Amino acid sequence: MTKLITIDPSEARKKSTIKSKDIPVNAYVSNPKKEAKRYGQENLARIYRDMVYIREFETMLDRIKKEGAYEGIEYNHRGPAHLSIGQEASAVGQAYHLSPDDFIFGSHRSHGEILAKSLAAIAQLSEDDLMRIMESYMEGAPLRVVEQFTEGSVKDLAVNYVLYGTLAEIFSRENGFNKGLGGSMHAFFAPFGVMPNNAIVGGSADIAVGAALFKRVNRKPGIVIANIGDGSMGCGPVWEAMMFAAMDQYRTLWDKEIGGSPPILFNFMNNFYGMGGQPQGETMGFGMLARVGLGVNPEAMHAERVDGYNPLAVADAVERKKKILEEGLGPVLLDTITYRFSGHSPSDASAYRDKAEV
């Protein structure tokens, strides 16, 4: 790439100050009447349903880890299970406006994101497309099992298929979506845009930005989201990814036809805890995570803090940010606040926090 930027000393040495833009914090205003109109009763009910599915799925895993049984069915799961009980709305709200062309990459705590994105894809895809995907994926192996206990529509079948394939993966079974080789922290289901999660804290940031660049350079549709934790803001790879995504050259030097900056959204699922440490107020100095955008580029990464306890606030933010990314004006940073009621993992007694807070 030819360097075309001439350094003008009279500009570089001029006296001035850097102005920063305001970062919206929990700006969404609920309006049930408007929301009912905007989403419709059926979609609102589905948003709630999906949150309930995730809560029950994670509660089941919690029981199995702690009691060795769920609803009278005994099982010994020896692998990990970082649960997102309490974080359901942030995952379901995010998935609402995403299509199967949009990719999500996750962390060690991403079961809920996998389910939410898959359930949104099921709502959007036709029955024919769903059948084609389920028949062809792993030569139909997970489908053959799910068919045995599902009555109802193709969509019902697809919902059970996703719950089963994800759970089988977490349990390292051959019928898991990744043949049990990835397990809880590396599960994925590419046909729905659910890309691999990552046990390395912050590791998904770089991989996701690579996927976003791939989409941009190859003119593929869709945006890419890196779902990472608030603790990951302390990790080098996250900063590398943000710097890489924010390079000016995409817009100043690259062929205009390519379409600008990679469509990457760094979504920090901010549950206010690392394992036991607290990023806000203890292990970091950002005050509010969304502030970090100010240090990255003049657009402050279009950063916002969003209330992840309101799925509609998250859906609204993702819809707006998706437009920005599609216009090549990324990257975007979201500080999606949420809270995990479960311990870091089922063996964690949460001794580092007050019961009153939980």
Ligand X SMILES: Cc1ncc(C[n+]2csc(CCOP(=O)(O)OP(=O)(O)O)c2C)c(N)n1
Q: What residue ranges bind Mg ion (CB under 5 A)?
A: 229-231, 271, 273
Stretch of 210-218, 230-238, 251-259, 330-338 contacting ligand X, by CB under 6 A: 230-238
Q: Which does 275 bind (CB under 5 to 8 A by kind): ligand X, Mg ion, none?
A: ligand X
Sole binder of ligand X in the list 200, 258, 284, 288 (CB under 6 A) = 200
Q: Rounded to whole angstroms, how far apart are CA atoms 216 and 257?
A: 10
Q: How do strand 224-229 and strand 103-105 relate by DSSP bridges?
A: parallel
- String marking each residue 289-308 x if it binds ligand X according to CB under 6 A: --------------------
Contact 117, 100 (CB under 8 A): no
CB of 236 to ligand X, least distance (A): 9
Q: What x-and-dash track marks residues 329-348 binding ligand X by CB under 6 A? A: ---------------x----
Piece of 61-69, 126-134, 166-174, 198-206 that binds ligand X (CB under 6 A): 198-206
Strands 264-270 and 332-337: parallel
Quick check: 201 binds ligand X (CB under 6 A)?
A: yes
What residues pair up with 267 in beta bridges, in sequence order? Answer: 227, 334
Give the Cα separation of 135 and 288 in Å (integer).
46
Residue 199 makes contact with ligand X by CB under 6 A: yes
* 232 lies in the site for ligand X, by CB under 6 A: yes
Query: Residue-wise over 175-187: b if at least 16 C-beta within 10 A, else e?
Result: bbbbebebbbbbb
Which ranges constitute the DSSP H helices of the chain?
9-12, 32-39, 41-67, 88-96, 111-124, 127-136, 141-149, 154-170, 203-217, 236-245, 249-252, 311-326
CA 74 to centroid of chain Cα atoms: 31
One of 176, 231, 262, 308 touching ligand X (CB under 6 A): 231
**Which range in 105-113, 127-135, 244-252, 254-262 contacts ligand X by CB under 6 A?**
105-113
Minimum Å gap between C-beta 273 and ligand X is 5
State which residue, 84 or 297, has the beta carbon closest to ligand X.
Answer: 84
Cα dist from 9 to 2, 3, 4, 6, whole Å = 21, 17, 16, 10
Alpha-carbon distance of 64 to 62, in angstroms, equals 5
Could you say whether residue 108 binds ligand X (CB under 6 A)? yes
Q: Is 69 in the site for ligand X (CB under 6 A)?
A: no
Strand partners, 304: 334
> How far apart are the C-alpha atoms of 189 and 170, rounded to whole Å?
13
Encoded one letter per residue, x for contact with ligand X by CB under 6 A and - for no contact, window 237-276 reads: ----------------------------------x-xxx-
- From Mg ion, ligand X, none, which one binds at residue 45 (CB under 5 to 8 Å depending on kind)? none
Q: Which residues of the shown chain bind ligand X in the complex (CB under 6 A)?
A: 107-109, 199-201, 229-232, 235, 271, 273-275, 344
